Copies of this chain bind each other. A is one copy, B any other.
Amino acid sequence: MKLHTFFRSSASYRVRIALNLKGLRADHAHVHLSKNGGEQFGPAFDALNPQHLLPVLEDDGLVLPQSLAIIEYLDETQPAVPLLPADAPGRARVRALSQAIACDLHPLNNLRVLKYLSGELGLSDEQKNAWYRHWVAVGLGALERQLTHSPDTGLFCHGDTPTMADCCLVPQLYNARRFDCDLSPYPTILAIGARCEALAEFANAQPEAQPDAH
């Protein structure tokens, strides 16, 4: 298996956590998202993924983009240490929590969007940071309520073992801290995040622990 990754790509970070939790090893191919005008736009990566987004997993002839599709694929083909619950309502809840981050929060604050805000729209850094923090506050505020109000929340987002939802939550927290977002209104999220970050599977997946960070 080969994972195309960049240390700071938070969608890649999700998959690195998932691989670690499942005890799987993938060779890493590093794609630097800003060097040389962005290696994701070069001919090699363009041929692999015309979306020019990370991560991409190669496995047995399959070339698969999209972090959540990759995590579900790993869970189906390597079912030991499941990252989705066995019951349909539980699976639905974990998917919905994951998508609240991966569909409704993260894409708005992605690198290409921030570039459009400061480039095409000529926004100031202050306006760009306000945009970033606005969507973090909207997204994490709703997620905090969803987690706090549900009896299905345990030590982690769903029950007492990590799932795909935790693979999404931790990189999102990492990003929020990078942009100095106020996280104090989200005690449940912070407690779950701290439990995750204490695990080697999460710690070894974090950006600073990647060889391409240095």
Contacts and interface: CB of A to CB of B under 8 A. Distances in A.
A134 B112 CA distance: 12
B68 A95 contact: yes
Interface stretch (A72-80, A171-179, A183-191, A205-213): A72-80
Contact of A89 (B49, B62, B65): B62
A199 interface: no
A103 interface: yes
A145 interface: yes
Contacts of A69: 92-93, 95-96, 99
Contacts of A102: 99, 103
Contact of A103 (B50, B66, B120, B130): B66
Nearest to A75: B88
Given A107-B107, A113-B108, A127-B121, A88 B77 contact: yes
Interface string A1-24: 000000000000000000000000
B100 A65 contact: yes
A26 interface: no
A53 interface: yes
A91 interface: yes
B103 A103 contact: yes
Interface in A156-209: none
A112 to B, nearest CB: 8
Interface in A48-89: 49-53, 62, 64-66, 68-70, 72-73, 76-77, 88-89
Contacts of A120: 130, 134
Given A68-B103, A76-B92, A103-B106, 15 more contacts: A50-B145, A51-B104, A64-B93, A64-B96, A66-B103, A68-B95, A69-B93, A70-B92, A73-B89, A73-B95, A76-B91, A103-B103, A104-B107, A120-B130, A121-B131
